[in-house]
Amino acid sequence: MSRLPVAAARPAPTTALPAVLQADQLPVHVAVIMDGNGRWARQRGLPRVMGHRQGVEALKRTLRLCSDWGIGALTAYAFSTENWSRPGEEVSFLMTLFEQVLARELEALQKEQVRIRFLGDLAPLPAKLQALITEATERSAVNSGIHFNVCTNYGSRQELVQAARALAAQVQRGELDPEAIDENALAAQLHTAGQPDPDLLIRTSGEQRLSNFLLWQLAYAELHVTDVLWPDFDATALTQALVDFQGRQRRFGGVQEEI
Ligand code: FPP
């Protein structure tokens, strides 16, 4: 049985769309691999971490654009399970940056009705960051605006292993018949449970890899790779990605367009 995408509501745009975009053909859920912060900084003779600071600005810009243009969900890859292997100072800088941004932006997120969630293994994160994550998640849970997923200490293979373990434990307890395990049962154990799969994946800075990001959820996503470095990602770059998406014929393994 093929797994059809979960239907999701497409909110109406709140600001005028660029003329080249059509509201009813926009993706419902956009995922981004925000790559190129280090290169952006190096090109300017700056320390790598300055690229991450500008990366935060690009993420805020992208979230606001998606929200204004009626995209229902944005999922961003902020820190992978592999990113711990970066130099200690860069990891510490990123953790502190996440804390500062969350503390600083929480009121704005509330005002803009953003529902924020953090996907990944959050237990190894610093205690202060975990507390801010809990507060932001709880306070924004009933918000009616865009769903914003921040993948933090996220690794897709780890997520799938965790899901397999959870299902195995249910079988062991006699709560689940192995024959009843289907795609929906597995999807229900992922961090993204209950959310529609991304329709569009954008990766910046030219690399053509998935880097252990949403391997299950991106099964039918359209891919858009741009040479733009993440800190430079702006309305023009997002529009290009959305125009590219609009031009794709989505067949989900069939022979004719299904959406
Ligand atoms: C990849 O660029 C970027 C990251 C690993 C970090 C991304 C994090 C942010 C933009 C901050 C997000 C903040 C919040 C609060 C969610 P890279 O360092 O791999 O760049 P390079 O490939 O050019 O070296």
Residue 19, in any domain of the structure: no
pLDDT of residue 251: 74
pLDDT digits (tens, 9 = 90+) for 100-135: 999 999 999 999 999 999 999 999 999 999 999 999
pLDDT number for residue 258: 56
Alpha-carbon span 233 to 56, nearest angstrom: 11
Give a yes or no: residue 164 inside a domain: no
Domain hosting 99: range is 27-155+205-244
Rounded to the nearest angstrom, the distance between the alpha carbon of 212 and the centre of ligand 1 is 15
Q: What's the number of domains the chain is made of?
A: 1
- Kindly tell me if the per-residue pLDDT of 149 is higher than 60: yes
Residue 236 covered by a domain: yes
Work out which ligand 1 atom sits closest to the CA atom of 98: 15
Instruction: Please report the pLDDT score of residue 253 as a whole number.
Output: 77
Q: What's residue 13's pLDDT?
A: 84
Give me the pLDDT at residue 5, please.
44
Q: Does residue 178 belong to any structural domain of this protein?
A: no
What pTM did the predictor assign?
0.93
Cα-to-centroid distance, 76 and ligand 1 (Å): 10
8 domain-assigned? no
Question: What percent of the chain is predicted at pLDDT more than 90?
Answer: 90
Q: Is 83 a catalytic residue?
A: yes
Quickly state the pLDDT bin for 14 (edges 50, 70, 90). confident
Q: Does a structural domain hold residue 197?
A: no
Q: How far is the CA of 94 from the centre of ligand 1 (A)?
A: 8
pLDDT of residue 6: 47
Average pLDDT (86-103) is: 97
The domain spanning residue 75 has which CATH number?
A: 3.40.1180.10
Residue 136 included in any domain: yes
Active-site residue among 24, 37, 68, 83? 83
Report pLDDT for 55: 98
Is residue 117 situated within a structural domain? yes
